[in-house]
Chains A and B, each alone.
Chain A
Amino acid sequence: MTTTNNFGLKAGLLSIVILLLFLFGWHMLVVAQQGPAAEGLDPEYAALLGKQATEGDSALPKPHEVGAELWQHISDPFYDAGPNDKGIGIQLAYSLFRVLTGFGLAALLAVPLGFLIGMSPVIYQALNPFIQLLKPVSPLAWMPLALYTIKDSSLSAIFVIFICSIWPMLINTAFGVANVRKEWLNVAKTLEVSPLRTAFRVILPAAAPTILTGMRISIGIAWLVIVAAEMLVGGTGIGYFVWNEWNNLSITGVVSAIVFIGLVGMFLDILLAHAAKLVAYAE
């Protein structure tokens, strides 16, 4: 017990040291980029310029500036100042809503279809070329098509999430189902269990860990893609937030957005890891 405690403590301490080193390095990098202040400027002219031009400031923010920005977002996450300016909490909620909707719809299709593919080699053979063809397509390549056919940018973003989430879940479900141990199926057969009951009581729980792995991959991709998709179509969401900060050339804003994106991505992954634990079994 003490060894595990020691282990955790050591790892935690090391993490903190790495973080501090990183922040220090960052700070020094920004300080090193500090150029000479411009001299002999007409005061009226200087007043029209930013600090980058007059004082030689780096375009990169220092860690404490990002920290202040982060704190500002955290202290007021849900303000709503019009359609183009909302708090980070609202933006994240929009993105999460899109991701979960697209992901949920994908799961509703991918899991049953994966079942079918996993159970029937004929269907697998028939669908395999399509899956292989569509799987490597960058989800964002679907965006123009989605915008044209769906005619709604928010729905298009959900569609893009849907299309990118579907493949890992489909393939993993098919794989999990196809690889359910034969003897479990034999048990069900000798017990004259109906195919539907076999699917729910035997195949689904047997393949669940593999399916959950697929879902975990999917949600990771979905969260990566939503940021890009929202940067593309704008409106709302964390991707739009990044774009809006970028539009203002505010690196501080972009860096804080990166922190939030990372945190939410981590949270989603932890969530699914817990779900995976629930269905995991030891043989």
Chain B
Amino acid sequence: MSEAPIQFTPPKSHSVSQGTEMADKPDTPLRKMIQVEGLERRFPNPGDKGETQIFGDVSFTVAEGEFVCLIGHSGCGKTTLLNILAGLDGPSSGHVIVDGKEISGPSLDRAVVFQGHALMPWMSAMTNIAFAVESRWPNWSSADVRKHCQKYIDMVHLTGSEDKKPAQLSGGMKQRVGIARAFSIEPKILLMDEPFSALDALTRGSLQDELVTICKATNQTSFMITHDIDEAILLADRIVLMTNGPEARVCEIVENTLPKGRTRSDMHTHENYYPMRNHLIEFLVNRSKNFAAEISAADFDPRNPPIARPAAASGTSGEQSLPSNDASATQEKKAS
């Protein structure tokens, strides 16, 4: 035990307490934790008939402390993309640079919350987390490990269920253990693959709230895959939209125009909520399918996708004013 358990890092920037509405200017020169550059993944076709590109030219960044969601239909290679970020899969071409270094495999710096909870069924909740903690700090004494684990169990409100096996826990509780496990190693980046998709709506909601709280408290850099629009609006600072596969592309990056500190219970009352929501639905329902036409029409550079900021026309918070009933956001080329 060379190192004492690390306390929650105090928020370095734009915490809720000090944050004014829309304090996070997109242009704020924050450290880029993740840079995805021209990522492509191809899979061989069955029967030796060439290869299919799942996605290509995928480029985006995630800044330190930022929460980014990726939305797309199933089949667009979302999970593959996350696996590449986790280091479990390799790209066919392109680069993933994390904290300035190109990744070459899995790392304790990048914790993953899996779609299924991926808990070891033969281990108790505590042991599942301890397994991760022991991997991160192999020299800790078992008492230290236990203390550290307990902190995260308490954080996800599982106090009292430490010694239960996954089979004795409800779906939501299992995923809480999964989240606690991911946070317990205090990663630079948290990667989440539709973590709440298997849960019922009520459970999902409460878990989302908790995730918001924890991410805020720890200023956690996070990247999450989801197909739930409300989840994305609640959690994400920016939302990456991916078209349908094969040959999926990032079609647009949407900046969340709702203020920080939004909660599930009050966010729909904000004037920008519906513009955001409508913009995203429009994408999922129509644009994701017909994107090919859109590309040819516009001057589209897949490696430098346009940025959208859907907001109410009368709103003052958004830099872009949009008619509240206009679902299609104005697109603006981001000059980086």
Contact = CB atoms under 8 A, between A and B. Distances in A.
A and B touch in the complex (CB under 8 A): yes
Interface of A: 183-184, 186-187, 189-193, 197, 201-202, 205-206, 208, 279, 281-283
Interface in B77-91: 86-88
B136 A191 contact: yes
Given A183-B118, A184-B120, A281-B122, 7 more contacts: A183-B116, A186-B114, A190-B107, A190-B108, A201-B131, A205-B122, A282-B167
Contacts of A184: 118, 120
Given A282-B121, A283-B121, A191 B167 contact: no
B88 A186 contact: yes
21 contacts: A183-B118, A186-B88, A186-B114, A186-B118, A187-B112, A187-B132, A190-B87, A190-B107, A190-B110, A190-B111, A190-B112, A191-B106, A191-B108, A191-B131, A192-B107, A197-B135, A206-B122, A208-B122, A279-B122, A281-B122, A282-B121
A283 B135 CA distance: 23
Interface residues of B, number: 25
B165 interface: yes
B167 A193 contact: no
Contact of B112 (A186, A192, A206, A283): A186
Contacts of B135: 191-193, 197
A215 to B, nearest CB: 17
B185 interface: yes
Given A183-B114, A281-B167, A282-B165, A190 B88 contact: yes
A189 B103 CA distance: 14
B121 A281 contact: yes
Contact of A283 (B87, B108, B167, B185): B167
B82 to A, nearest CB: 11
A193 B108 CA distance: 9
A8 B273 CA distance: 63
Q: Which of A183, A206, A283 has the most CB of B within 10 A?
A: A183
A254 B236 CA distance: 78
Interface string B95-135: 00000000001111011101010101111000000011001
Q: Which of B120, B122, B167 has the most CB of A within 10 A?
A: B122
Contacts, number: 60
Contacts of A208: 122
Contacts of A186: 86, 88, 112, 114, 118
Contacts of B87: 189-190
| 3 interchain residue pairs of minimum CB distance | A282-B167, A191-B135, A183-B118
Given A183-B116, A201-B131, A281-B167, A190 B122 contact: no
Contacts of B121: 281-283
Interface string B155-193: 000000000011100000000000000000100000000
Contacts of B86: 186, 190
Nearest to A197: B135
A266 B106 CA distance: 48
Nearest to B128: A187
B103 to A, nearest CB: 12
A281 B116 CA distance: 17
Contacts of B112: 186-187, 190
A184 B119 CA distance: 7
A208 B108 CA distance: 27
A70 B289 CA distance: 81
A269 B137 CA distance: 42
Contacts of B122: 205-206, 208, 279, 281
A234 B87 CA distance: 61
A1 B278 CA distance: 57
Contacts of B136: 191
Interface in B54-96: 86-88
Nearest to A204: B122
Q: Which of A183, A187, A208 has the most CB of B within 10 A?
A: A187
A202 B111 contact: no
Contact of B106 (A192, A197, A201, A206): A192
Nearest to B110: A190
Contacts of A187: 112, 114, 118, 120, 132
A208 B105 CA distance: 28
Contacts of A190: 86-88, 106-108, 110-112
Contacts of B132: 187, 191
B176 to A, nearest CB: 16
Contacts of A197: 135
A186 B110 CA distance: 12
Contacts of B185: 191
Contacts of B120: 184, 187, 202, 205-206
Given A183-B118, A205-B122, A281-B122, A189 B88 contact: yes
